[in-house]
Amino acid sequence: MKGEVKSQPLVGVRVLDFSTLLPGPLATLILAEAGAEVIKIERPGRGDEMRSYEPKFGTDSVNFAMLNRGKKSLAIDLKDVAAREALLPLLREADVVVEQFRPGVMDRLGLGYDALSAINPRVIYCAITGYGQTGPRAEVAAHDINYVAESGMLSLAAGEDGAPIVPPALIADIGGGTYPAVINILLALRSRDATGKGCKLDIAMGDNLFTFLYWAMGNGLAAGKWPKPGGDLVTGGSPRFFVYRTRDDKFIAAAPLEQKFWENFCDAIQLDKQYRDDAKDVTATKQAVAARLRAKTAAEWQAIFAGKDLCCCVVATMQEALEDPHFKARGLFNRKVAADGKTLIALPVPVADAFRSAKIEEGYPALGGHNNILK
């Protein structure tokens, strides 16, 4: 049966999550959705800083609710020796530890990899940082946009005035932190199955951004053609990969890269034949396409494009995307996070339905709501 839950692959895996905010909590959410028991270790009184954000859903922020669905929470002071000792039984049995402090912080608390592996050789210790555990920037404070800037990625996204545009997604946190953490934790679990030994994972958000820049690195290293904003195939330099304005000031995302799609696109918008060979004059072709698309509304173009192979669509708002019949039909928004008798759409995560629980609604943990585990 489609969507049948056969076996959650991480049932029986215990994860102690010392991380806060986004990269680590999203990584452990993905593990929890695949069946792992995730126990958040939080500060007494305040907990994860994200609890205090706005807007609220239940007693805490909606961000916290979405990222921590189905987890447990322990509120303990890691600077208190007695509290750390109370945590020892869990540390001895933990399969995975996730932390997001600067390098050396967990070591000073007596909770670093060397200390934990001495009492639990099977532990998989995942440290997520911006710049990694070593290197000249290891201790430097930074956020997502800093990692994106220093990897060279930000320089490729520029507005009309040439200034880089703030990305609309936290690419480093999720693409450079969360996903590599999950991938390597799963690889480490598989390795432990064979060797019986755990390991330490050094996940550096800045490092992992270069994967996204494969084409830019290739162009520069192999051909000496270093990319520039607005000047390359996927940075706005081609009429075949561009965003165009419509008559009603909405936008069309056009990506007819392959020749067959380009020909279909040109036919659909009735582009003059003199502009169809875009290699002759890229700027002229782009201007001609822009003029054609500016002549009709987004709805008119949507109707014209319907049923045609041309890789074009209307740019949707976030609200429109949540109402999109395609995503709804795939069940993307079926799962819910619950609080105080209310529910909202749970954060979709890239875990196949076959590996997830049949339980659709789940809450998020109250701060210290599972401290009885320590007794």
**pLDDT for res 233:** 86
- Architecture of the domain whose range is 242-322: 2-Layer Sandwich (3.30)
Query: How many CB atoms are closer than 10 A to CB 248?
Result: 10
**pLDDT for res 370:** 97
User: Do residues 149 and 182 touch, judged by C-beta distance below 8 A?
Assistant: no
Listed residue (260, 148, 248) closest to 205, CA to CA: 148
**294-320 residue pLDDT tens:** 999 999 999 999 999 999 999 999 999
- CB-based burial label for 185 (10 Å; 0-12, 13-18, 19+): buried
* Structure-token pair, residue 18: 């010392």
**pLDDT for res 2:** 47
Fold agreement between 14-205+335-374 and 242-322: no
- Please list the ranges in the chain whose pLDDT falls under 50: 1-3, 5
pTM recorded for the entire structure: 0.94
Listed residue (169, 188, 191) closest to 180, CA to CA: 188
**pLDDT for res 250:** 98
- CA distances for 124 relative to 22, 97, 373, angstroms: 20, 6, 21
User: Do residues 178 and 108 touch, judged by C-beta distance below 8 A?
Assistant: no
User: Do residues 23 and 181 touch, judged by C-beta distance below 8 A?
Assistant: yes
Q: In CATH terms, is domain 14-205+335-374 a member of 3.40.50.10540?
A: yes
* CA 61 centroid distance within chain: 19
Query: How many CB atoms are closer than 10 A to CB 192?
Result: 18
Q: Assign 68 to helix, strand or coil.
A: coil
**pLDDT for res 26:** 98
**pLDDT for res 6:** 58
Question: What is the b/e burial string over 5-35, where b = at least 16 CB atoms within 10 angstroms of the residue's CB?
Answer: eeebbbeebebbbbbbbbbbbbbbbbbbbbb
Q: Which residues are catalytic?
A: 143, 173
| Domain boundaries of the chain, sorted by first residue | 14-205+335-374, 242-322
**pLDDT for res 1:** 38
DSSP letters for 141-169: ---HHHHHHHTTSGGG-B-TTSPBPPPSS
